Amino acid sequence: MSARYGLHEHLDRGVDDVFGATFDGARSTKGDVVAHALASLDAAALSRAGRVVMVGDREHDVLGAAAHGVACVGVAWGYARPGELAAAGAAAVVGTPAELTAALVGE
At 72-88, the pLDDT tens digits run 999 999 999 999 999 99
**Extended strands (E) in the chain:** 53-56, 71-75, 92-94
pLDDT of residue 47: 61
Please tell me the predicted confidence (pLDDT) of residue 9. Answer: 56
In Å, how far are 26, 28, 39, 52 from 23, measured between CA atoms? 8, 8, 19, 25
pLDDT tens column, 18-77: 888 889 988 989 899 888 888 887 766 666 556 788 899 999 999 999 998 889 999 999
Contacts of 12 (CB under 8 A, 6+ apart): 1, 2, 3
Report pTM.
0.76
Residue 68 DSSP label? T
Say what the pLDDT of residue 101 is: 87
